[in-house]
């Protein structure tokens, strides 16, 4: 089994830093190559890995993630392939592997089956960006039974009452989306992020990860000053998309992960 996310955040906190969280979809560029990319991220300083489950209607995803997911889907990647990618990864003793998935593929696969097979594959948790707590009863039961952590999202528009509801059903960390738009690397992270994190922190003691927009080590450092986790996805994917070969993609991912890892440690 992988580490529980709580242990990952506790280990980062013991070093007076934020955890680095990285996202790339399984099956991109291919299933085997995605294992190499994701493992390179773990080996280069990513503490908690988000393995994306490709889905044909990614409402929250910006151009880079949409392009990567489309490539995976065109290659025929399935939910079983995603679970196999998780099984093939080798995280360290203070690292964890999550799956990030829209709800429809999990429901189609079978809620109990997905939670059980993810746990069997060594996965620690799941982020479900479009599942609301009110509709999550079967998922809460399944993840509790399988020992899999679950993470839901809050946004700048979330009321304090909504933050309370979401925080209560999260067992891993609370995902704070720093903008109201789709994912994508940005030159500047939303000014709403610090205020949102402060509001969430005043209402729960669970770790808080900030995502949507991080594209540099400097931005990672600025978010690490107030969040428990810094989430990076599109900027990793863009480097893979732009690389002319797998070896160059691996070099880009390795260098960028190291830059971000240095960023989350810069205030330590």
Q: Print pLDDT tens along the chain (268 aa).
A: 456 777 899 999 999 999 999 999 999 999 999 999 999 999 999 999 999 999 987 666 678 888 999 999 999 999 999 999 999 999 999 999 999 999 999 999 999 999 999 999 999 999 999 999 999 999 999 999 999 999 999 999 999 999 999 999 999 999 999 764 444 444 445 578 999 999 999 999 999 999 867 889 999 999 999 999 999 999 999 999 999 999 999 999 999 999 999 999 986 5
> Which residue carries 């609370």 as its tokens?
174
Nearest Cα residue to 151 out of 130, 120, 125, 180? 125
CA gap 219, 237 in Å, rounded: 17
Element containing residue 23 per DSSP (H, E) = strand 19-25
Q: Which of 32, 57, 61, 252 is catalytic?
A: 61
Helix spans in the chain (H): 5-14, 31-43, 63-74, 79-88, 103-109, 111-120, 137-146, 160-169, 192-201, 217-224, 234-242, 246-265
Length of the chain: 268
CA gap 33, 28 in Å, rounded: 7
> Which residue carries 């540099």 as its tokens?
216
**CATH number of the domain within which 244 lies:** 3.20.20.70
Q: Indicate if 50 belongs to the active site.
A: yes
Q: Which of 50, 81, 117, 149 is catalytic?
A: 50
Q: How many CA atoms lie within 13 A of 2 on its CB side?
A: 31
Please give the pLDDT value at position 268: 52
Please give the pLDDT value at position 167: 97
Range(s) of the domain holding residue 242? 5-265
In this structure, the number of other CB atoms found within 10 A of the CB of residue 14 comes to 9
Total domain count, the chain: 1
Between strands 96-100 and 174-177, the pairing is: unpaired
Contacts of 218 (CB under 8 A, 6+ apart): 263
Q: Indicate if 61 belongs to the active site.
A: yes
Whether the Cβ atoms of residue 241 and residue 27 lie closer than 8 Å to each other: no
pLDDT in tens, 8-36: 999 999 999 999 999 999 999 999 999 99
């Amino acid at each position: 089994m992988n580490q529980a996310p709580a242990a990952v955040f506790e280990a980062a906190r013991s070093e007076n830093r934020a955890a680095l969280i990285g996202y790339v979809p399984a099956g991109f560029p291919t299933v085997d190559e995605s294992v190499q990319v994701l493992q390179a991220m773990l080996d280069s300083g990513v503490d908690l890995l988000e393995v994306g489950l490709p889905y044909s209607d990614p409402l929250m995803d910006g151009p880079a993630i949409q392009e990567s997911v489309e490539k995976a889907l065109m290659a025929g990647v399935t939910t079983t392939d995603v679970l196999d990618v998780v099984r093939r990864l080798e995280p360290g003793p203070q690292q964890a592997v999550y799956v990030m998935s829209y709800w429809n593929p999990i429901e189609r696969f079978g809620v109990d089956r997905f939670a059980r097979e993810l746990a069997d594959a060594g996965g620690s948790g799941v982020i479900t960006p479009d599942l609301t707590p009110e509709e999550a009863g079967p998922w809460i039961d399944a993840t509790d039974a399988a020992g899999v952590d679950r993470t839901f999202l809050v946004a700048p528009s979330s009321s304090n009452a909504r933050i309370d509801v979401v925080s209560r059903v999260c067992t891993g960390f609370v995902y704070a989306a720093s903008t109201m738009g789709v994912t994508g690397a940005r030159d500047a992270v939303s000014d709403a992020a610090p205020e949102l994190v402060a509001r969430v922190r005043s209402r729960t003691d669970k770790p808080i990860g900030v995502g949507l927009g991080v594209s540099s080590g400097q931005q990672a450092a600025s978010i690490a000053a107030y969040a428990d986790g810094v989430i990076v996805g599109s900027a990793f994917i863009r480097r893979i998309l732009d690389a002319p070969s797998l070896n160059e993609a691996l070099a880009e991912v390795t260098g960028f992960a190291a830059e971000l890892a240095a960023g989350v440690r810069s205030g330590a």
